[in-house]
């Protein structure tokens, strides 16, 4: 019997790789961090920044919940580097566009399969407020389709980042402060994709996806033909951690995701309990789990907030907000209604403000409604009930900057906190 055991062990190890989602972002992360204390410090500093932003965002004065208003949109210009060896790896523009459509649907919660989220978890699903557009301007200011095609002699790539360098058979990254770099190539073995880590070097920033798991047509092969590998990896690119926290009952640094013991594979259904996560169990339909594309349906509000902290002033991806590549495509990225005087909030006194303000409304009908205050990147930082035609609000807890007050999802009233 002794001789059989290693054989059985090999089988158990070897079988999963054939059909199960294989994201290598964690391997990549550990490889990068190993023996690099400077990078580890940079990653930790970003984590501290994220926690601080989220603490600020959780200031609720006398609000009692209430529906979140649609967040403002952040537009991310994308450059897709198609690195092909065989002609079939040189995927079509249509296939690239199909991937962009999935990213926009999934990050905007317009994906049709939100209907498949079990009712008990439906309220967790969030519109993350991100839009993805192919860049129309390259780093030199010239017009581009946002799609780069390059032949390589390499028959496959690994997580060693060769694909991100022209000198190593790939294609150089474009400026990460202006673009999200997506490399599409043949990744070796079962690897579907990996993301750089937030805080890592500029030259390797971006996401790599296997050409058979990209988009919804052409070379995309089931069960990874619904574009969710990119949704998942871009989640890592915006600092999301696997939903089980990469440890048995680990922590994904997100408050509204239930604790979960381990990765979920395939396309499960029903309640799967673990780690005492009564009563509805694992959130295996989250994009940051490991199910097949067809089993993934949502990001949560907590994941949205964690991602969006990167875009706050001082955040790792804040520079993308003023990317000329985005501006050229979609116009300035601002909070919607930011400069519009709301029909509901008519005045804030004083404005600019230091501490107490009076928020004035014209119509008594909104008394009792939730007044929400958002920062410039669309994170809700405060919620207060409208108590009268003039409601006192204490802004002392907010840091200096520009905010927007909205009632019932109406247009934002601009407020400056000194
Ligand atoms: Zn992953």
Q: What is the pLDDT of residue 54?
A: 87
382: Cβ–Cβ under 8 A, 6 or more apart, which residues? 59, 60, 61, 63, 372, 373, 393, 395, 397, 398
Q: Residue 65: pLDDT above 50?
A: no
Nearest-angstrom CA–CA distance, 153 and 174: 22
Residue 202 has pLDDT above 90, yes or no: yes
Alpha-carbon gap, residue 290 to 21, rounded angstroms: 6
Label residue 396 by pLDDT band (50, 70, 90): confident
What is the distance in A from the centroid of ligand 1 to the CA of 241?
Answer: 7
Structure-model confidence comparison of residues 73 and 277, the more confident one: 277
What is the rounded average pLDDT of the residues 7-24?
60
Q: What is the pLDDT at residue 58?
A: 59
Mean pLDDT score of the chain: 86
User: pLDDT tens digit string along 287-344?
Assistant: 999 999 999 999 999 999 999 999 998 999 999 988 877 543 332 222 232 322 244 7
71 near 304, Cβ under 8 Å? yes
- Taking residue 121's Cβ as centre, other Cβ atoms within 10 Å add up to 18
Residue 361 CA, ligand 1 centroid: distance in Å:
46
Distance, CA of 164 to CA of 207 (rounded, Å) = 10
Q: What percent of the chain has pLDDT over 90?
A: 62
Mean per-residue pLDDT for 150-155?
98
Q: Specify the range with the lowest mean pLDDT, choosing from 107-116, 225-234, 389-398.
A: 389-398
Q: Nearest-5° angle of CA 83, CA 189, CA 81?
A: 15
pLDDT for res 410: 67
Asked if the model's pLDDT at residue 366 lies above 80, the reply is no
If pLDDT is split at 50, 70 and 90, which confidence band does 1 have?
very low
pLDDT for residue 246: 97
The DSSP secondary structure of 181-247, one letter per residue, reads EEEEE-BSTT--EEEPPTT--GGG-SEEEEGGGSSSSTT--TTS-SSHHHHHHHHHHTT---TTTTS
CA of residue 229 to ligand 1 center, whole Å: 8
Q: What is the pTM of this model?
A: 0.75
pLDDT at 66 (0 to 100): 32
DSSP letter at 168 equals G
Q: What's the pLDDT score for residue 387?
A: 77
Question: Which member of 233, 262, 347, 372 is catalytic?
Answer: 233
Tell me the mean pLDDT in the region 373-390. Answer: 77
Instruction: Give all domains of the chain, ordered by start, each with its CATH number.
Output: 20-63+70-309 (3.40.390.10), 345-417 (2.60.40)
Distance 307 CA to ligand 1 centre (A): 15
> Sorting pLDDT into bands at 50, 70 and 90, what band is 56?
confident
Inform me whether the pLDDT recorded for 233 exceeds 50. Answer: yes
Residue 313 CA to ligand 1 centre (angstroms): 27
Average pLDDT over residues 93-100: 95
Task: Give the per-residue pLDDT at 402.
Answer: 84
Mean pLDDT in residue range 234-262: 97
Q: What distance in angstroms lies between residue 364's CA and the mean position of ligand 1's atoms? A: 49
Question: Would you state the structure tokens that stand for residue 263, as one six-digit string?
Answer: 């990765």
203 is catalytic: no
């Amino acid at each position: 019997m002794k001789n059989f055991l290693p054989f059985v062990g090999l089988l158990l190890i070897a079988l999963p790789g054939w059909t199960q989602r294989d994201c290598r972002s964690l391997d990549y992360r550990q490889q990068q961090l190993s023996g690099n204390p400077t990078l580890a410090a940079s990653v930790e500093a970003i984590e501290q920044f994220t926690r601080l932003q989220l603490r600020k965002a959780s200031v609720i004065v006398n609000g009692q919940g209430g529906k979140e208003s649609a967040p403002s949109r952040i537009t991310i210009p994308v450059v897709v580097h198609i690195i092909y060896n065989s002609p079939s790896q040189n995927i079509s523009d249509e296939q690239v566009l199909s991937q962009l459509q999935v990213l926009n649907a999934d990050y905007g919660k317009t994906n049709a399969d939100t209907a498949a989220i079990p009712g008990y978890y439906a309220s967790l699903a969030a519109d993350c407020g991100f839009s993805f557009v192919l860049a129309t301007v390259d780093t030199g200011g010239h017009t581009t389709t946002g799609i780069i095609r390059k032949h390589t002699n390499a028959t496959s790539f690994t997580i060693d980042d060769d694909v991100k360098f022209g000198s190593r058979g790939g294609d150089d990254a474009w400026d990460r402060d202006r673009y999200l770099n997506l490399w599409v190539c043949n990744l070796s073995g079962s690897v579907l994709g990996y993301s750089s880590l937030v805080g890592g070097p500029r030259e390797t920033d971006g996401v790599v996806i296997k050409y058979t798991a990209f988009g919804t047509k052409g070379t995309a092969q089931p069960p990874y033909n619904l574009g969710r590998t990119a949704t998942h990896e871009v989640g890592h690119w915006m600092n999301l951690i696997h939903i089980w926290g990469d440890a048995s009952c680990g922590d994904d640094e997100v408050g509204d995701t239930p604790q979960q013991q381990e990765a979920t594979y395939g396309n499960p259904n029903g309640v799967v309990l673990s780690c005492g996560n009564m009563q509805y169990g694992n959130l295996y339909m989250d994009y940051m789990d490991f199910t097949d594309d067809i089993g993934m349906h949502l990001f949560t509000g907590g994941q949205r907030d964690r991602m969006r902290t990167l875009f706050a002033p001082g955040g790792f991806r804040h520079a993308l907000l003023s990317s000329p590549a985005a501006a050229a495509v979609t116009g300035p990225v601002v909070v919607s209604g930011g400069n519009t005087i709301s029909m509901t909030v008519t005045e804030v006194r004083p404005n600019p403000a230091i501490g107490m303000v009076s928020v004035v409304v014209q119509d008594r009908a909104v008394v009792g409604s939730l007044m929400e205050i958002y920062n410039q990147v669309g994170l809700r930082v405060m919620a207060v009930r409208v108590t009268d035609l003039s409601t006192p609000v204490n802004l002392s807890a907010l840091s200096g900057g520009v905010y927007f007050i909205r009632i019932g999802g109406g247009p934002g009233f601009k407020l400056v906190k000194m």
